[in-house]
Amino acid sequence: MQTTSINAQQIALLETACQELCLEPTEKQKEQLLEYITLLMKWNQTYNLTAIKDPNQALIQHVFDSLSVIPPIKKYISLKKIQEPEMLDVGSGAGLPGLVIALMIPEARVTCVDPVEKKMTFIRQVAGIFNLANIKTQHERVENIKTGPFDIVTSRAFASLEDFADLAGYQVKNDGVLVAMKGKKPQEEIEVLEKNTLWKVELIETLTVPQLDAHRCLVWMRKKGTV
């Protein structure tokens, strides 16, 4: 990887984070993750895509946060022996975690959906620059999209578990899963979900985000009566 005085600190942060997450990205993937932050900060000056203005904090709170889900998702794909997983990222915003998943799991085919057009335009621009052929965007509310169904449907800070299941559950294959990134274990949301919907929580994984002192977990949900 090329190093400069401008991004040397970010390179060091990223390499340390990948080691902590037991990830082994290629040099190209590392360069693209850092370039993503550069593009995000540039676009943010005009389009207000994120409230975070500092590039290092954006790297930690957006990229590292998204990278933390890569190992468990890759493990699930491997266990289920899914050759080309079809994935939907709901409320993708600026591509988090959808674009990061597409970049880090090239065999996955990822659709990012968000009702804010400028955010989908940004993802398309980044995908074009990176030549990512495995990512699509839909400027739409998730309950209105007509593609799918998907093996895995993800969300990050999107909605309550009940609302996530109600709005996006119809997009999941019968043997597929909903996967929600959350802060602390959302016990009340879990109880409401299992009482009011056809979905149940199958697993809650604790996530550790490098350089971030905050609670994170991944909530895996499956339709009741399926395995």
Contact 168, 155 (CB under 8 A): yes
**How confident is residue 223, by pLDDT bands cut at 50, 70 and 90?**
very high
What confidence tens digit (pLDDT) does each residue in 117-171 have? 999 999 999 999 999 999 999 999 999 998 889 999 999 989 999 999 999 999 9
What confidence tens digit (pLDDT) does each residue in 13-55 have? 999 999 999 999 999 999 999 999 999 999 999 999 999 999 9
* Structure confidence at residue 7 (pLDDT): 80
Average of pLDDT values for 93-111? 98
The amino acid at 72: P
**Tokens representing 173?**
């294959």
* Structure confidence at residue 203 (pLDDT): 97
Please list, in sequence order, all residues whose beta carbon lies within 8 angstroms of the beta carbon of residue 143, skipping any fewer than 6 positions away. Answer: 167, 168
What confidence tens digit (pLDDT) does each residue in 51-87 have? 999 999 999 999 999 999 999 999 999 999 999 999 9
Average of pLDDT values for 84-109? 97
The sign of the CA dihedral 71, 76, 81, 83 is: negative
* Structure confidence at residue 225 (pLDDT): 87
Average of pLDDT values for 4-14? 79
Total-model pTM:
0.95
Per-chain mean pLDDT for the chain: 95
Q: How far apart are CA 210 and CA 16, in angstroms?
A: 8
